[in-house]
Structures are given as C-alpha cells and as structure tokens.
Structure 1
Amino acid sequence: MWRGDLDDLDGLRAAADNADAVVHLGNKHDWSDPAETIRSERAAVTALADTLAGSDRPLLLASVLSGLVHDRPAEETDPSPAVGPDSPRGGSENLALAYADKGVRVIAARFAPSVHGPGDTGFLANLVAAARTHHRSAYLGAGTTAWSAVHRGDAATLIRLALDQAPPATILHVVAEQAVTTRDIAEAIGTRLDLPIASIPADNAATHFGFVGRFLAQDMSAANTHTRRLLSWNPTGPTLLDDIRSGAYDHA
C-alpha cells in the first residue's frame, strides 16, 4: 500500500510509475475554498497523466454529473463542456481525456450523486443528518428534481470492468437508476426515521441542508445505456430507496 495525499505530487508520480493501473477518486471537496480544491485536482490529474504518458496503462478518474448532463444525459462521445479551471472539478475530465492521444488509456467515470450503501458518508448521509437535526425530512419545492443513483458494490464492479475493457477516451456513467426524485428520497428518509415530511422553499436550502442544498435544486440524472452495453455491466444491488428503508443510513 502506498500512502500519500493529493498535495504529494512526487508521491503520486512514484505510485503511478509503479502501478499497472491508476484509479483517481480523490478530491478535497473544500466548499470553503473551491479555488484550492480545483488547483489540487488539476495538479493531481496532470501529475498522474504525465507519469502514465506513453505507457498505454489505464487512468480512470472520478468525474461528476452535476453541471454536465442537464438536457444532455447520454454518455456516448459526449465530452464535458467544462474545459477550464473554473469548471466543475476544474475541468479535470477534459484535462485527463486530452492524454488519450499521449498513450494513456483514459477513462472518465461520471459517478451518480448518490453512490449509496452502508457506510456511505456522502450526500444521502447529509440529508439524513439534516432530517434528524431539524426533526423533519424535507425536499425543495415540489421535489421534482431527480438524482441518479448506484449501489457501491455495482460501482466497484464497473470500475473493475472498465480497467479491463474500456478503450481510451471512454466516458462512463456510473449510474444504475437514472432518476430518483428528491421528494421520493425525502419520503423514504422520513418513513425510516418516523419523522414528518415537508416541502421547504428553495431559499431555505442552505440553512436546512448545508452545502448539499445547492445540489438538491439540480437535476443530476443521466442515462447509462452505452455504459451497460460497452462493458456488459448489469447492476444487481439494492435501489437507493431500498437502502434507505432497510436502514443503510441509520449511522448518519
């Protein structure tokens, strides 16, 4: 095991140099300093890709659906419009894909906003925590915005398949369920926690949900037809709502 962090660029280069494949899932997610998050992301991707250049080894990096797929949910040859340092994740998806012409088997994996399952500390865990804090499970407005979702086990299987099979410059949608409405999510949380379920105005999103509030107002849903077909990937894990109802987020 090689231990390090995103600011240890020499360590990242050394690790990549000695690896058969690189899976880059790290991000600082520092909402108080987005410029630093972007800087570190671009620096890490550049360090890893430069090291792998000319080797034809795979570099799979985590990308996002947020801000990329509204009204354009397909993954086939659908590069991100986020190309500059001020884009989501600093435009790291296109930064990495540019290395496909430099002898790197780059794979951009756009993860669903909910990669769910026991132990998850992401968006869903924050929604459950907000429900407990405010003694109600809430959604914004009519709750019609929707998120894609994938179980953690299915996501891990897809990563393995992609490392084995995906050609250079592949864009994948790590998505099992295309769209789960935020109202359905709130209702499942409220039922599990025995809390009232309520709509709140969008203006109260940040106060009620914290940083997650900005994402609740977004449609973050996407298709996965090409991904399934390309890699013969067939998700079999529990659905997002089933995980909530079964207690997978009782730890939150």
Structure 2
Amino acid sequence: MSVFVTGASGWIGSAVVDQLLAGGYEVTGFARSDASAADLEAKGVHVRRGDLDDLDSIRAGAESAEAVIHLANKHDWSNPAASSAAERAAVQTIGDALVGTGHRFLLASGVAALTQGKPAAETDASPFHGPQSPRGGSENLAFEFVERGVHAVSLRFAPTVHGARDHGFIASIASIARTKGVSGYPGDGSNRWAAVHRSDAARLVVLGLEKAVAGARLHAVAEEGIPTREIAIAIGRAFDLPVTSVEPDDVRDHFGWIGTFFAMDLVATSAVTQQLFEWTPTGPTLVEDIGAGAYSVPAPVS
C-alpha cells in the first residue's frame, strides 16, 4: 500500500514513517525544507515538497496514494487562528481528493476539551465544529467525508507524546524550569496530563491504518493522567532544581503561553483502543523519560 504522510519529518511523523517502512509500506513524505527532504530520502522515502499552505501539492499527494496520514500542523501558538485555518484547509483538500475512493484518511487530533470532569473516552464526540473552532473543527470535518466514500479515522494524541529529544510541551516546561531556576506547577498540582511514549503512539497509528473502521476515534494514551506536581518534581530532580507551586493568578506570567495548557486537567482513557486493536503501551512512562535525561539536551525543531 502506498501512503502519503504529512508531517513525515516531525516528532510523531518520523516515528510513524519508520513503522510504515518496517511494515513494507511505500511511503511518500511531505517535506517543507531541504533538510527534512534529505532525511526522508535517506530512509528510502519518496518526497513531495510543500507546506500546509501549498494545497495543490497536498491534493496531488493525496490523489497519488492509497492512504493518507495527516500529522502536520503549524502549531503557531502566537497565532492559533492561522494554525486552525491551515489545518481545516488541508483536511478539506485531502477529503475532497479522496471522495468516492474508499481510501483511508487518518488525521491527528487531541483529547483537550473532551474531559468534562472525567477521562476523555473514544465515545466522546469532538465539540469542535466550524472554521473558528480549535484545529478548525478538523476531526468533525473529516468525518463528514465518511458518507462520501472516505475512510476517515481520528488519531487523538495525549497532550504529551514524550521521548528522547522531544520538543513539545514538556520540553517547554523543562526549559522554563532551567531558565527560572525553579520547577513550578500550577496551584496544588493536582490537575493531570495524559501521556504516551512516541514509540507507542507510532505503533498505534499503523494499527489504525490497518484495522480501524471508518469514523473511529483512536486514543494514543498510555497514562490517563499524571499530576502536574509529579511532573514538576521529576523535572526538578532531573535538573537539581527546587520545586514550588505557582499561584493560579501567576501561572500565565510564570509559564507564558503554555501556562494555559499546563493548568488544564487533560485526562483520557484508551481502554477501548487497547481492547479493539490489541495495543499495549510498552514504552517508558513520562516520569521515567524525564529521569532518564530525555529533556536534558534541547531538541531541534524540524
């Protein structure tokens, strides 16, 4: 099977590409830079150049493959509206390209805002609809194509997909701790973050490609929720820093833009996913990764 992967050189995407290649798939990776293209070519991946604003290239990539895995996102936290608009446009373009083909279309999503006082579950529908919503309502937009002959599947990732040289949320929290000389947590630190190791997330993506029914929501979650105080303690231990509470009113000033997310209770279950796909996470826990030095060296941004 030929698979077109956006975000193929990214943190999750590069691990997914490795899994696909190991499984004998023919992979075309979407690359926006010369360095990313070179890395993909070195693995034996076909390269299609472009970025999320290059809808013609995205359309051509989708039309030329038997499946699409859409993992790219601008992640521009200074302009989330632009990121959401680009995401929606990309999903619309891919969906339009696949209408009537029955081809598989897996897209990245998340568990944020699904908790509502309980762990987010696969049965919880996304509340986000329309262009102005987070991620441009891309999950629900993709599912609209199911009735038009597109095998759409949502990949909901935990807020932290961790591992050595991760450059996501936890890397930012660790960097802030090193800069400020103290490892902080919001309030009493009882709010929690779900987590999954990168290797486990990549395995699940390929299982979803092979086994998920149209309209399925997969939860790439290994730990339902780690209290932010435990995360801060692990970071403090890793960098020999004092650990302290940050008052709720000071969270934004202390952590910057990421403080809004670090103060959320982002818990999720993957019980249905694990049962249906015989997926058992085997990678290190988040605290184990922090303790093993996963965040000791600043990671490159692809």
> Under a length normalisation based on structure 1, what TM-score does the superposition of the two structures give?
0.97
Contact 2:169–2:258 (CA under 8 A) maintained in structure 1 = yes
What per-residue deviation string (whole Å, max 9, x for no partner) do you get for residues 135-172 of structure 1? 00000110011010000000000000000000000011
Unaligned runs of 5+ in 1: none
Question: What is the alpha-carbon distance in structure 2 between the residues aligned to residue 152 and residue 94 of structure 1?
Answer: 25
Is 1:7–2:49 an aligned residue pair?
Answer: no
CA distance in 1, matches of 2:219, 2:185: 25
**2:187 is aligned with 1:141:** yes
Q: Is the 8 A contact 1:70 1:219 kept in 2?
A: no
Matched-pair contact (CA < 8 Å) for 2:122–2:270: no
Deviations 1:155-198 (A, max 9, x none): 00000000000000001111001110100000000001000000
Matched, 1:170 2:216: yes
Secondary structure at the residue paired with 1:147? strand
- Note if contact 1:176-1:235 (Cα within 8 Å) is conserved in structure 2: yes
Which residue is equivalent to 2:135? 89
8 Å contact from structure 2 (residues 99, 150) kept in 1: yes
- Equivalence for 1:60: 106
Which residue, out of 85, 88, 112, partners 1:42? Answer: 88
Two-structure CA RMSD over aligned residues (Å)? 1.1
Structure 1 residue 118 corresponds to structure 2 residue 164: yes
1: CA distance between counterparts of 2:112 and 2:232? 20
Given candidates 218, 224, 227, the residue that maps to 2:270 is 224
- Counting only pairs closer than 5 Å after superposition, residues 61-80 of structure 1 correspond to structure 2 as 61-80=107-126
Whole-angstrom CA distance in 1 between matches of 2:242 and 2:230: 13
Report whether the alignment pairs 1:105 with 2:154: no
Percent same amino acid among aligned pairs? 50
Q: Determine the C-alpha separation between the residues in 1 that align with 2:119 and 2:286.
A: 20
What's the counterpart of residue 249 of structure 1?
295
Q: Which amino acid is 1:240 matched to? A: L
Please state how far the C-alpha of 1:72 moved relative to its aligned partner. 4.8
Do the aligned partners of 1:68 and 1:82 also contact (CA within 8 Å) in 2? no
| Range 53-62 or range 162-171, more displaced | 53-62
The answer to whether the 8 Å contact 2:75/2:83 transfers is yes
For residue 68 of structure 1, give the secondary structure of its aligned residue in structure 2. Answer: coil
In 1, the alpha carbon distance for the partners of 2:122 and 2:82 equals 31
Tell me the TM-score normalized by structure 2.
0.81
User: Aligned pairs, how many?
Assistant: 252
Match in the other structure for 1:25: 71
Determine if contact 1:75/1:172 at 8 Å carries over to the other structure.
Answer: no
Give the Cα–Cα distance (whole angstroms) in 1 for the partners of residues 267 and 120 of structure 2: 10
Does structure 2 retain, via aligned residues, the 8 Å contact 1:105–1:167?
Answer: yes
> Is the CA contact 1:75–1:171 (under 8 Å) kept in the aligned structure 2?
no
> How far 1:32 sits from its partner (Å)?
2.2
* Structure with the larger RCO, 1 or 2 (CA within 8 Å, 6+ apart): 1
Q: Give the aligned residue type for 1:168.
A: A
CA contact (8 A) 1:149 1:177 kept: yes
Q: Where does residue 248 of structure 2 map in the other structure?
A: 202
- 2:199 is matched with which residue? 153
Which residue identity does 1:226 align to in structure 2?
V
